[in-house]
A and B are shown apart, each in its own frame.
Chain A
Amino acid sequence: MENKYLKDDIIRSSGVNPKKCMKCGKCTATCPSFDEMEYHPHQFVYMVESGDIEPLLESESLYKCLSCFACVDRCPRGVEPAKLVEAVKLSVIRQKNSNRLKADDVVKYLDEDIPQQAIVSAFRKYSK
């Protein structure tokens, strides 16, 4: 997908207006996955806004969001960065053969106690 359409598509799918961001960094400061991310929540916001989306598509950061909604609730401007992360990630895994998690791979992650909730949630986040 061309970059121009990709940006429009991500903004439409997420419902986020990245222009509302005042770059305070609170989303990143409160993100429990901060240490695991190459691009942090505030960077998703300005990179989508500026159309610099390609690096995000390739980044492991897409799969580090925990859907905890901390950045959504604590943003003083109501930007809701997690919704952008979700839309960028969907633009990747919706492409053919782009699933992050495949059914055959799940077995190696399982242990005796792991709840079904972990498995269905990971599939919802990592695969289409």
Chain B
Amino acid sequence: MKVSYFPGCTLKNKAKELDKYSYLCAEKLGVTLEEIEEWQCCGGVFSTAKDEIASKLSSVRALKAAKSKEQPLITVCSGCHNVIKQTNYVMQNDKEFADKVNKYMAEEEAYNGEAEVYNYLELLRDVVGFDKVKEAVTNPLGGKKIAAYYGCLLLRPNSVMKMDDPENPKIMEDLISAMGAEPVIYANRNECCGGYIALEDPKAAEKRSNDIIRNAKAMGAEMIITACPLCKYNLVKNGADIPVVYFTELLAEALGVKEEKDGE
């Protein structure tokens, strides 16, 4: 199966592991990621303002590219996923907004939210299936206690994201189980790490991140996994003394595609 893929700015720079292992794992699971051509940065944050139009055009163009290939659009980064999925939602549901966007792009075919957007986690759960992921695991993780850190962007707003129960999610825990590890449930797994405030008010991000690390460790976590480069940065920067890794990197290890490629 072939799908359209939107990597985003950070996956081509500071989060290359997230990008690289997404390709390798998908390949092993029978899915080919086709990077859309000439994609532009999503902007990182979705503006909820109804009169913020130009800042959403890059997402609309990515969605149009997937539509034209009749493929679902796959994101990995939580930030990209949130921005593109929320943009698709307003293009589907706010006719006045969609009309303004389409006038901006009057020389192109109109877009009204026809493409489907899935995060890579949803690709694993809903397209591949966690049972198939489990079958493909060659290097099970030996019951290691792993805390899934969702942060805010994957789950909220739930009326749009519709990935999982936003207050009691299990998609990442189910992936952890499929990889042969033991998921750790902790209260702060869906609370914000501080996000971009790390740039100009790092103390505020430090407080948020420390709450998350402390909570995960108190519940016995030996490792934290995340889909978001900014979450990873904040947790690591603020002194996480257990490893914080991208879920695709851990999956690559479990699927046995990490070492062989790294050795090249």
Contacts and interface: CB of A to CB of B under 8 A. Distances in A.
B10 interface: yes
Interface in B106-143: none
A101 B45 contact: no
Interface residues of A, number: 41
Contact of B49 (A14, A109, A120): A14
Contacts of B199: 101, 106, 109, 114, 118-119, 122
Contacts of B229: 115, 117
A124 B50 contact: no
Contacts of A66: 152, 192, 194-197
A42 to B, nearest CB: 18
The prevalent SS among residues of A at the interface is: helix
A109 B50 contact: no
Nearest to A69: B156
B167 to A, nearest CB: 8
A116 B14 contact: yes
B9 A117 contact: yes
A17 interface: no
B156 A115 contact: no
Contacts of A109: 199-200
Given A86-B48, A122-B199, A68 B152 contact: yes
Contacts, number: 134
A99 interface: no
B152 A125 contact: no
Interface in B42-93: 43-52, 55, 77, 79
Interface string A97-108: 000010000100
Contacts of A72: 156-157
B81 to A, nearest CB: 12
Interface centre among B157, B236, B237 (most CB of A within 10 A): B157
A83 interface: yes
Interface of A: 12-15, 32-33, 35-36, 63-64, 66-70, 72-73, 80, 82-83, 86-87, 90, 101, 106, 109, 111, 113-126
